Amino acid sequence: METTRRRFFALLTALPLLSFFSAVSRRSPKTLPPTPPCDDHDQPTPSLTEGPFFTPHSPERSTLLDRDMAGTVVVLNGRVLNTNCQPIAGALLDWWQADDAGEYDNRGFRLRGHQYTDKRGNFQLETVVPGLYPGRTRHLHVKVQAPGQRVLTTQLFFPGELRNERDRIFNPALLMDVRRKGDKELATYTFVVNA
Ligand SMILES: [Fe+2]
């Protein structure tokens, strides 16, 4: 009963606001921003720990695959948007990850590289599915930076991994959509940054 009453009063409070906004939209339809086409992408992508294995000055490339590299190929198609769902061109994405055996190359740049989004805020990364190493679930590391903005350091995760729930760093907001196609995995992810 109490809840119902509270809801009723909340509605009463909201009504004048609603009519105000509809009046504004009737009067000045051209000055209102367009409705964002991507309701589920209005929250900034969460940051996560960098971990101990980042190396600066990685080479620019969109494929991290080397000849004879072991593991399942994963092709990640993604976008970088701002919190108004506008695509960000020229955003930097700097990737690093473990190889199929769960090892990082801490001397060179194997499975490390950076790239930039195109005019529409899109990028494609070709790499291998990272292996597991003690204490962690499967993940990709990345730094994302819109031009002139702060760097977002975070990680992306694979769905359906047994270790996801046990990994204290894991965040479901950072799960990629992944599907199998032939012998490859096709993944998608949209980053949202303050810009
Ligand atoms: Fe890692």
Does the pLDDT of residue 77 top 70, yes or no?
A: yes
Calculate mean pLDDT across residues 60-84: 96
C-alpha span between 172 and 163 (Å, rounded): 12
> What's the token pair of residue 174?
């950072």
Start-end of H helices in the chain:
2-27
Tokens matching residue 31? 């000055």
Q: How far is the CA of 86 from the centre of ligand 1 (A)?
A: 30
Question: Using one digit for the tens of pLDDT, what is the confidence trace for 115-147?
Answer: 999 999 999 999 999 999 999 999 999 999 999
Per-residue pLDDT tens digits for 160-178: 999 999 999 999 999 999 9
CA of 104 to the centre of ligand 1 (A): 8
Residue 104, both tokens: 């990082």
Pair of tokens at residue 14: 């909201």
Q: pLDDT by residue (tens digit) across 22-31? A: 444 444 445 5
**In terms of DSSP bridges, do strands 184-193 and 139-145 run parallel, antiparallel, or are they unpaired?**
unpaired
pLDDT band of residue 37 (cuts 50, 70, 90) is low
CA of 88 to the centre of ligand 1 (A): 26
Given a cut of 70, whether residue 71 has pLDDT beyond it is: yes
- Determine the pLDDT at residue 31: 59
CA–CA separation, 87 and 189 (whole Å): 13
CA separation for the pair 42, 36 (Å, rounded): 9
Please give the pLDDT value at position 39.
65
Tell me which residue has tokens 């599915």.
Answer: 129
CA of 139 to the centre of ligand 1 (A): 6
Distance CA 110, CA 104 (A): 8
For residue 114, the CA-to-ligand 1 centroid distance in Å is 17
Question: In degrees to the nearest 10, what's the CA dihedral of 109, 112, 116, 118?
Answer: 120
**Rounded distance from Cα 172 to ligand 1 centre (Å):** 16
Query: CB neighbours of 163 closer than 8 A, spacing ≥ 6?
Result: 132, 136, 137, 138
Phi, then psi, of 127 in degrees rounded to 5: -155, -165
